[in-house]
Amino acid sequence: MAVVNLRRQGHTQLEIAAKIGVGAETVARWLHSRRFPERRIRCDRRREQARFLQDQDRGPQPALTRTHFSSARMAALLLTPPRDLSANQLGYRDSFLRFCPTGYKVRKLALQFRAMLRWRRSDRLLAWIEKASGSGFPFIGQFARTLRRDLSAVELAITSPWNNGPMEGHINRLKVLKRQMYGRAGFELLRARVLPLAG
């Protein structure tokens, strides 16, 4: 509304743009629109400069910003043992659990599943699936139903000492080499890099 008021006072579009802190094209668009479009100005340098000068006059103030973690980071904090967390991380995790008590239930289910994998206790799998399915958490229930579809394969994955980690590592190495050489050389150089010791 300030744009319209300044225009009524006789200011030009360039003067309005300089006072408001937007481009002249934006002022023209606002003046010719039937109703005034609400717009949040991204950055008002004069306002930021005034705040900076006020802060300088007041001296150093304690920081009012708080650390916020993403959902993925929060999940990692919930699953990390307390001895591996800093004091700040522990405080944030505890405040999150106080704010969201259902986080205790999710954390308990996740830690039980991780312990089952770590200690290779496939005999606890069915009981965990039943508990997770009836937990009331849709994402955990869906995961439990997916595990139930191929129960024998999941039990074998828990108890078997073998995994496909080395094979995935070789596949990743081959893909990195291929991407590095894309469009630069032929098959012979690729073969020499993939099999450097081949005769």
Question: Exposed (0-12), middle (13-18) or buried (19+): which is 150, by Cβ within 10 Å?
Answer: exposed
Question: Exposed (0-12), middle (13-18) or buried (19+): which is 163, by Cβ within 10 Å?
Answer: exposed
User: Which sign does the torsion angle of CA 42, 44, 48, 51 carry?
Assistant: negative
Residues 93, 51 share a domain: no
Residue 168 has pLDDT above 70, yes or no: yes
User: Per 3-state DSSP, what percentage of the chain is helix, strand, and coil (rounded to 5)?
Assistant: 70, 0, 30
Residue 67 has pLDDT above 90, yes or no: no
**Which is more confident, 58 or 129?**
129
Count: domains in the chain: 3
Residues 180, 148 share a domain: no
Structural domain containing residue 178: 170-194
- pTM of the full structure: 0.54
Instruction: Answer whether residue 66 is part of any domain.
Output: no
Residues 177, 155 share a domain: no
Q: What is the mean pLDDT of residues 108-132?
A: 94
Residues 147, 107 share a domain: yes
Most confident stretch, 55-64, 128-137, 175-184: 128-137
Share of the chain above pLDDT 90, in %: 34
Residue 60 has pLDDT above 70, yes or no: no
Residues 80, 27 share a domain: no
Residue 32 has pLDDT above 50, yes or no: yes
| Residue 92 burial (CB count, 10 A) | 19
Residues 150, 106 share a domain: yes
Residues 122, 81 share a domain: yes
* Residue 182 Cα distances to 68, 175, 185, 188, angstroms: 40, 10, 7, 13
